[in-house]
A = this chain, B = another copy of it.
Amino acid sequence: MNFVDKLLQAGKKNNSLVCVGLDPDPKLMPAKIGVYEFNKAIIEATSDLVCAYKPNLAFYEAMGDDGMEVFSKTVKCVPSHIPVIADAKRGDIGNTSKAYAVALFDVLGCDAATVNPYLGFDAIEPFLQYAEKGTIILCRTSNSSAKDFQSLLCQTPAGLRPLYEIVADKAQEWNTRGNVGIVLGATYPDELKTIRRQHPDLPILIPGIGAQGGDVAVTVKNGVSPQGDKAIINSARQIIYASKGPDFAEAARQACLSLRDEINKYR
């Protein structure tokens, strides 16, 4: 089953648009627990409440030699009907991007990966060639410096348009296999609204609610497809660090349930 179908089915089964970000930070985790055990407990406590999980590679790479093994074990721990999105933001020239796609899809077994558009089509094509896997292209990121380049107004045959709109158009154009999504931060609700209107059917991964300040009601209203789906609303810190005590998994479940229900209220 391809990524988008898997995403939609998991979202339907769990009645959820919530994606849990598995971004382990030893400073925020309960004491005396390994990263894998932490992730496993979080996954077991939330897997009936989510549409996807999204581990970010950076946190595993920062762990040193064991990091990739922990990442790989974490992916295997996710029930097979729930997609795993590798938040990797990769992008390199052709043969090198191919190696990244092999690493994320074949070696680590993820269902989708985030990629950076700066290098253009041939950097993304090796990912796209995996028809069953999702390729989610950064469009408008959730950070405050996103404006530095993404908001630049660029010359196009249709007049001046911001770079992130041009990226979204290219994502649509490259979606010949039905396996492309885009990233739009909840911290930019107007941009989210505009791009969703321009691309009603593209899956949109939406980080930036919770700790980063994005509003849930506005995010849902502006971000879901006309069918009320195809939004992957990510939350990491608010869920996985809901408690630092021995009740962390149950606290994560409650935070996840509460976010799921809040989102559903506005769908």
Contact = CB atoms under 8 A, between A and B. Distances in A.
Interface stretch (A54-62, A77-85, A214-222): A54-62
B96 A116 contact: no
A64 interface: yes
A160 B150 CA distance: 16
- Chain B CB within 10 A, most for which of A72, A96, A146, A160: A96
Interface in A166-209: 166-167, 170, 207
A72 to B, nearest CB: 7
Contacts of A166: 149, 152
A48 to B, nearest CB: 28
Interface stretch (A6-14, A29-37, A136-144, A248-256): A136-144
A158 interface: no
A96 B56 contact: yes
Contacts of A143: 93-94, 119-120, 122-123
B59 A69 contact: no
A227 interface: no
Given A116-B91, A154-B153, A154-B163, A61 B99 contact: yes
Interface of A: 23, 25, 56, 58-59, 61-65, 67-69, 72, 87, 89-97, 99-100, 102-104, 107, 116-123, 138, 141-150, 152-155, 160, 163, 166-167, 170, 207
